[in-house]
Amino acid sequence: MIVNNFALILNILNFDSDDDFYFLQIIKRRKENPEMISNSSVIKSYYISSKEYLQTKESEIITICEKSNARACISLNRRSFRKIAFHTLKKISEQICDNDFRGVKNAYDKACGMYMEECNKKWVIDLDSPLDEYSSNINDIILSCEPNEYSESKYISKIPTPNGAHLITKPFNVKTFNSKFKENFPDLEIPDIHKNNPTILYFNKSYGKIDEIIKDKSINYAKFKHEDEYDDPVYNRDVKQTINDFKAGFSSGVNFHGRL
């Protein structure tokens, strides 16, 4: 499954001045890469100062994600270059006082992740399956919440994710939402509401699964004879193509792990 939200997210971004930017990171997670020691690691950070800049980086971001089996995530609440600079200075001072000299190099990105400068705040409602099936109903519940209940739509966008969707909305009364949600869906868990979290820009879920199948060129070819056992239609075609490549290239010593 390929999740490519570049077009959707480009429509959400808004720049009022040269001081505005959106924070984007390519993140590798242990969930998709079980050989990792830490839960996650940042491959690269971007500071998106215009729609054109994001468009010029699209190919690069996709390539890094696929080669690293990582995902690109972007915060939809703007940051301020000026204020992030001050927050970074404060963060570095605190780290020096705490003798955390090694952490200084990460201070700017830490500040970018924590501090937004957005007058039109956007929240992320995490609708993992099966909640994504009820996104329209959930949007109606949000509409009925304060402020401006029923008179102003709070819906901004619905962003596909590997496990469902992110509903992007304007702020609303969380207490009212939780109460009405349980009234309408007593058997479902209340979705997580994130007020300053990123959403998915790009992720190729197929790469992680294929990478689990073909870990090393020295794996016994017999494991790949029965490709039909992989019954997930999302990546079955890619698996079969990789198997065909494996049949053709095994004897020549092709490093399939590197190819993926």
Domain boundaries, the chain: 2-118, 123-194, 214-259
10: exposed, middle or buried (C-beta count within 10 Å: 0-12, 13-18, 19+)? middle
Between CA 75 and CA 251 the distance in angstroms is 46
pLDDT of amino acid 188: 93
Terminal CA-to-CA distance of the chain, rounded, Å? 15
Low-confidence ranges of the chain (pLDDT < 50): 210-211, 213-240, 242-260
CA distance 90 to 54: 29
Q: Which two tokens stand for residue 56?
A: 């010029």
What's the one-letter identity of residue 29? R
pLDDT tens column, 161-186: 999 999 999 999 999 999 999 999 99
Distance CA 165, CA 128 (A): 6
- Strand residues in the chain grouped as ranges (E): 2-4, 20-29, 40-48, 71-74, 79-80, 123-128, 155-161, 164-169, 192-194, 199-204
For residues 36 and 47, give the distance between their C-alpha atoms in angstroms, rounded to a whole number: 26
* Dihedral sign of CA atoms 112, 113, 114, 115 in order: positive
As to burial, measured by CB atoms within 10 angstroms (0-12 exposed, 13-18 middle, 19+ buried), residue 9 is buried
pLDDT digits (tens, 9 = 90+) for 124-168: 999 998 888 999 999 999 999 999 887 888 999 999 999 999 999
The token duo for 182 is 């349980």
Q: What is the rounded distance in angstroms from the CA atom of residue 78 to the CA atom of residue 20? A: 6
- Find tokens 């016994």 and name the residue: 220
Amino acid letter for position 195: K
Three-state secondary structure of 32-50: CCCCCCCCEEEEEEEEECC
Say what the pLDDT of residue 132 is.
85
Alpha carbons 257 and 71: distance in angstroms, whole number: 18
